[in-house]
Amino acid sequence: MTSTTPESLPALGICLEEYEYPYPVRFLPLTNDLQQVSMAYMDVPPGTEPNGKTVVLMHGKAFGGYYFRNVIEALAGTGYRVVVPDQIGWGKSPKPDLHYSFQLLAANTAALLDHLGVGEVAVLGHSTGGMTAVRFTLMNPDRVTHLVLEDPLGLVDYRTGIPPQSEETLYDHEVHWTDPATIRGYVKGYFVHPDPKVWEPLADVLVRVTLSADYPRWARAAALTFQMIYQQPVRYEYPHIAPPVLLIVGAEDHVVPLGQYAAPAELAGLGDFIGLSEAAVSDIPRATRVSDTGVRAHPAPGAPQPVPGRVPAVPRQLTRLSRAFSMEVQMSVSSGETQPVEVGPPPYYHRSDCNICRKQDGLKTGSVLLDVPVPGGYIVESEHFLAEHAPLQESSAGTVILEARRHVLDFGEMTPAELAEFGSIAHRLVPAVKAATGVQRVYLLAVMERAPHFHLWFVPKKDEGEGRGADYLAQRPPLTSSYSEAEAMSIKIREQFEQS
């Protein structure tokens, strides 16, 4: 996908007729509300040896299934068949004036799977798609093997803090949401670290649709689906969800659909994804929750709000998320013995039994050393490596661990690109640790005993404890640091690294 300037953008039909999807699109004829409609969908076969499993991806509010490009690629690359419908009212599907309901969307999805001859499926729902996925699971408990809810809406009944709005009010806002600069600023606000190569093409789609002569029909469907979100809560039925559930929420996410109409005192609670998700997993019988710090899947609170509470489905389609999803699907939460699986196209894969891989993918490891927030965040985030402060129970403040992003044991398994990047990072990271901690030398240690995944310790040699060299590293009790000390030191090291 490439982006162009607003002045040169051509109009785009409200069914995205001129927009190329990442995979072939087909259409399923349906009857909804006594109207003949055709639902668009992508049915992507496995890109490698099939594992016999199918994943259904359910998109969010502002985009069709095309924004799942990276997730489709990653899942198909590990042997999954991936089915991605554009729900009626979205993407390449029509935008009819009808009574939208999650029951209708779920029934359409079931009809699509029947048409394709697909039985059991794992389901991932993002944003509004999370509400669709919950309803689909409740209606098809024997069909869904696993449910993944990624920053879902519906963690609360929005009617408890927002007064009802007329369809005329919602339509009026939607139909006037046409300013290109506003749309671009809004889409950019979805991301904690906005990359123009990612957000600009997505903004282009929304800008181009507003240039269509049929845009009022798009706006009408958007208003009606806002009513669906508001009027049809799924939260009260969480205790009835049967399959294993992985709930992923962004700590930076605070979106509230139609939030502009809420009293200020209500907004914080309605958008508290962390607190709401904690309550949700206590009500879902077989749920695991992952909180992702430093990311959001909806617009930032400070982003332009052209439409009250507009809920764009943010394409946070990172390979990390799809790997995490693959791991959870392949290793059933309810199973006893499980075999480790490799997730992702070789050689860039993660292993399900590797705690470093699981930590990078935002999954629980069961380790008290790893299942804690990273003090001060990542110090280095490069293409092939991550650097962070070492576990507090095993290091003094300023100790850094540099780890490979993929499951690789040592230098002998690294690619030339990885080796080159490692040398560049080490060349800058050692002086950064020295400058931040005030030491004259930094010990380097890499044994990969407890975790066979490349990780190198950068240990500042301080005037504490006894011994030098191996004796210093092996002293008992081990050197430790507090969270606040490690956080402050991580920030200093990152500043020194970035200045080098």
Output the six-digit token pair for 144.
Answer: 């869904």
In this structure, of 4-13, 143-152, 247-256, 423-432, the range with the lowest mean pLDDT score is: 4-13
Residue 18 in any domain: the answer is yes
Least confidently predicted of 57-71, 291-305, 388-402, 482-496:
291-305
Residue 432 has pLDDT above 60, yes or no: yes
Query: In the predicted model, is pLDDT for residue 318 greater than 50?
Result: no
Please tell me which residue, 303 or 59, carries the higher pLDDT value: 59
Q: Are residues 104 and 205 in the same domain?
A: yes
- The answer to whether residues 319 and 173 touch, using CB atoms and an 8 Å cutoff, is no
- 74 shares a domain with 202: yes
Instruction: Please tell me whether residues 296 and 393 are part of one structural domain.
Output: no
- Structural domain span for residue 465: 367-499
Candidate from 270-274, 330-334, 377-381, 467-471 with smallest mean pLDDT: 330-334
* Mean pLDDT, the chain, whole residue set: 84
Q: How many angstroms separate the Cα of 169 from the Cα of each of 211, 229, 304?
A: 22, 16, 19
Residue finishing a domain among 278, 307, 330: 330
Q: Are residues 156 and 291 in the same domain?
A: yes
The CATH number linked to 489 is 3.30.428.10
Residue 294 lies in a domain: yes
Domain count, the chain: 2
Residue 351 lies inside a defined structural domain of this protein? no
E strand or H helix at 231, and its extent?
Answer: helix 215-231
Per-residue confidence (pLDDT) for residue 7, from 0 to 100: 57
Residues 131-144, mean pLDDT to the nearest whole number? 96
Cβ-in-10-Å burial (0-12, 13-18, 19+) of 196 comes to: exposed
What is the pLDDT, as a whole number, of residue 447? 84
Using the predicted structure, report yes or no on whether residue 345 has a pLDDT greater than 70.
no
Quote the pLDDT of residue 304.
Answer: 38
Question: 368 exposed, middle or buried (CB, 10 Å; 0-12, 13-18, 19+)?
Answer: exposed
pLDDT at 324: 52
Same domain assignment for residues 283 and 144: yes
pLDDT exceeds cutoff 60 at 46: yes
Can you tell me the distance from the alpha carbon of 284 to that of 286, in angstroms, rounded to the nearest whole number?
Answer: 6
Each residue's pLDDT tens digit, 108-118: 999 999 999 99
Mean pLDDT of 2-24: 83
What is the CB neighbour count within 10 angstroms for residue 366? Answer: 8
Q: Are residues 300 and 404 in the same domain?
A: no
Q: Quick one: pLDDT at residue 252? A: 73
396 shares a domain with 315 = no
Distances in Å between the Cα of 500 and the Cα atoms of 427, 429, 430, 441 are 10, 9, 11, 18
| Residues 228 and 83 placed together within one structural domain of the fold | yes
Same-domain check for residues 12 and 117: yes
Q: Is the pLDDT of residue 311 over 50?
A: no
Report the CATH number that the domain containing residue 92 is assigned in CATH: 3.40.50.1820
Bridge partners (DSSP) listed for residue 350:
343
Residue 70 lies in a domain: yes
According to DSSP, the β-strands at 380-381 and 121-126 are unpaired
Asked if residue 185 and residue 37 are part of one domain, the reply reads yes
Tell me the pLDDT band of 357, cut-offs 50, 70 and 90: confident
Which sign, positive or negative, has the C-alpha torsion 214, 215, 219, 221?
Answer: positive
- Residue 352 belongs to a domain: no
Question: Is 362's pLDDT higher than 70?
Answer: no
**342's tokens:** 């490799």
pLDDT of 500 reads 86
Share of the chain above pLDDT 90, in %: 54
Which tens digits make up the pLDDT trace of 449-487? Answer: 777 899 999 999 887 656 777 777 766 566 777 888 889
Tell me the C-alpha distance between 258 and 493, whole Å. 42
231-257 b/e with 16+ CB inside 10 Å = b? ebbbbeebeebebbbbbbbbebbbbbb
Average pLDDT in the 129-146 region?
96
pLDDT at residue 477, rounded to an integer: 60
- Do 311 and 425 lie in one domain? The reply is no
pLDDT at 286 over 50: yes
Summary count for the chain: helices (H), strands (E):
14, 15
d(CA 103, CA 97): 16
Q: Are 87 and 224 in contact (CB under 8 A)?
A: no
**How far apart are alpha carbons 362 and 356 in whole angstroms?**
10
pLDDT value for 259: 87
- 392 and 326 in a common domain: no
The band of 120, judged by pLDDT with boundaries at 50, 70 and 90, is very high
Helix axes 319-330, 69-76, angle to 10 degrees: 40
pTM of the complete model: 0.68
Q: Is residue 218 part of a domain?
A: yes
pLDDT digits (tens, 9 = 90+) for 204-251: 999 999 999 999 999 999 999 999 999 999 999 999 999 999 888 877
Q: Is residue 343 part of a domain?
A: no
* Interval 275-287 mean pLDDT: 91
- Per the domain annotation, does 347 fall within a domain? no
Over range 31-35, report the average pLDDT. 93
- Write the CB contacts of 384 (distance below 8 Å, at least 6 apart in sequence): 404, 405, 406, 417, 418, 421, 422
Torsions phi, psi of 489, nearest 5? -70, -40
Would the pLDDT of 293 be above 80? no
71-84 pLDDT, tens per residue?
A: 898 889 888 999 99
**Chain segment 366-405, per-residue pLDDT in tens:** 776 777 777 888 899 888 899 999 888 778 889 999 999 8
Both structure tokens of 129: 């798609």
